Amino acid sequence: MGIKVVNGGFLTTIQDMGRYGYQETGLAVSGVMDTRSAALANLLVGNDENEAVIEATMVGPMLEFTEDIWIAVTGGNLGAKLDGKPVSRYEAVLVKSGQTLSFSGMAGGSRAYIAFAGGLDIPMVMGSRSTNLKAKIGGLDGRKLGTGDLIGFAAPKTWLPAPEKRKMEPEDFSAKEITLRVLMGPQDDCFTDDGIWTFLESTYTISNEYDRMGCRMQGPVIEHKNGGDIITDGISFGAVQVPSHGNPIVMMADHQTTGGYTKIANVISVDLPKLAQCMPGTRIRFKKVGIEEAQALYCEWRAEVRALSKRFAAQTEPVGELQAAALAAALNEHKHSWSSEGVYRVVVNGEEFVIELSKETARFR
């Protein structure tokens, strides 16, 4: 089967990188709040970075496994434990049927991501498995996970190449003050010079009004020239709206597709994961950058993804002729023990091998 939800936690949903192509109809993109952590979780277990993951907010769920599978937990440190013992974050971990994954509480960051090798058995809705809570589509019936929910695995993997290399240094989300780099516009001309200066030189504090739709901040008033209302236009992930009250609101993953408030700037893509991990009370400063710098930073992230994919896909040395002959003899001797397909570990003359059997051929690793 896969997993049984014993307790759904505070807000636990199934998300991927989002549902694109439908904003013109008023349907939000949705998707994970922290795209970096979700991508890393998937890479650690050999998935495509866009594979659906479980996103847990603040108070994580309790999940009982009914099938063996490799998983990885990334993002905020919510105190992940397997059968009551701490689980290494940012590392591929083999979970056995009957074990329980739980979370004891926040110790840095606010959102954790759980990836499952081979993916979750969740139907695609308009090109995505992401949960849109307002539209009630995607994920598991378009809602957050709750007690008793059952989720299957699409193609569960109990073997991964070079599992000992599938780890990386956990990211630290404990900072109480962060700087978000922004591109100015598209309505920065609606603000006075003093308003622009206030926005870039002041410190703002994340309020309690922070959810998957937007992050409202409190601080010095940003001065408009003629108020904060405009003719409604499109909104992107990271857009910094400033209504007439003069405080910024950063649009997050479930943001509305259009809005009628002035947008002074947009948080660059590589910095949005930092904001996604913040808690109310975190102090925020904004720093202006140019489009070339923003694009260069994004290209660096894509290069990092490619490098990690290559690293985690590292293959073992090819089997030599004598080893292959010994393996073939062992397979023939115990041929009644093998099914037609599957991945097996075999010990021959003291050496351990992984053998992938298919209907057509046997591949030695």
Confidence of residue 247 (pLDDT cuts 50, 70, 90): very high
Contact 185, 266 (CB under 8 A): yes
The predicted pLDDT at position 310 comes to 87
Average pLDDT over residues 343-365: 57
Q: How far is CA 65 from the centre of its chain?
A: 21
Average pLDDT over residues 48-53: 97
Of 156-165, 219-228, 283-292, 321-330, where does mean pLDDT reach its minimum? Answer: 321-330
Q: Which tens digits make up the pLDDT trace of 280-319?
A: 999 999 999 999 999 999 999 999 999 999 888 765 445 5
Q: Which tens digits make up the pLDDT trace of 181-205?
A: 999 999 999 999 999 999 999 999 9
Contact 154, 118 (CB under 8 A): yes
- DSSP secondary-structure letter at 224? B
Distance from C-alpha of 97 to C-alpha of 118, rounded to nearest angstrom: 16
Q: What token pair was written down for 115?
A: 């990836």
Average pLDDT over residues 326-335: 69
Average pLDDT over residues 235-261: 97
Average pLDDT over residues 100-116: 96
Does residue 355 sit in helix, strand or coil? strand
User: Which residues, listed in sequence order, are joined to residue 259 by a DSSP beta bridge?
Assistant: 233
Q: Which residues contact 106 (CB under 8 A, 6 or more apart)?
A: 58, 59, 76, 77, 78, 79, 279
Q: In terms of Cα–Cα distance, which of 32, 53, 34 is closest to 44? A: 53
| Residue 94 CB burial class (10 angstroms; 0-12, 13-18, ≥19) | middle
Highest mean pLDDT (candidates 162-166, 260-264, 324-328): 260-264
- What is the CB-side half-sphere exposure of residue 28 using CA atoms within 13 A? 23
Average pLDDT over residues 227-255: 97
Share of residues in the chain with pLDDT > 70 (%)? 87
Q: Which residues contact 37 (CB under 8 A, 6 or more apart)?
A: 74, 75, 76, 111, 112, 113, 171, 273, 277
Contact 204, 196 (CB under 8 A): no
Q: Which tens digits make up the pLDDT trace of 52-64?
A: 999 999 999 999 9
Distance from C-alpha of 63 to C-alpha of 4, rounded to nearest angstrom: 6
Q: Which tens digits make up the pLDDT trace of 57-97?
A: 999 999 999 999 999 999 999 999 999 999 999 999 999 99
Q: In terms of Cα–Cα distance, which of 339, 317, 344 is closest to 159? A: 344
Q: Which tens digits make up the pLDDT trace of 8-48?
A: 999 999 999 999 999 999 999 999 999 999 999 999 999 99
The predicted pLDDT at position 162 comes to 86
Q: What token pair was written down for 332?
A: 């023939």
Does residue 104 sit in helix, strand or coil? coil
Report the sign of the C-alpha dihedral through residues 286, 41, 106, 148, in that order.
positive
Contact 232, 208 (CB under 8 A): no
Contact 12, 60 (CB under 8 A): yes
The predicted pLDDT at position 136 comes to 97
Give residue limits of the domains in the chain: 2-165, 177-306, 321-364
Confidence of residue 360 (pLDDT cuts 50, 70, 90): very low
Q: What is the pTM of this model?
A: 0.87
CATH 2.40.100.10 fits 177-306, yes or no: yes
Residue carrying the six token digits 């992107």 = 236
Distances (CA, A) of 230 to 24, 224, 256: 19, 12, 16
> With 80 as the cut, is the pLDDT of residue 138 above it?
yes
Better pLDDT: 34 or 331: 34
How many C-beta atoms surround the C-beta of residue 356 within 10 A? Answer: 14
Q: What token pair was written down for 48?
A: 């495509």
First to last CA, the chain: 28
- DSSP secondary-structure letter at 59? S
The predicted pLDDT at position 285 comes to 98
- DSSP secondary-structure letter at 314? P
Q: What is the 3-state secondary structure (H, E, C) of 241-299?
A: ECCCCCCCEEECCCCCCEEEECEEEEECHHHHHHHHCCCCCCEEEEEECCHHHHHHHHH
Whole-number mean pLDDT of the chain? 91
Distances (CA, A) of 29 to 15, 23, 106, 252: 11, 7, 27, 10
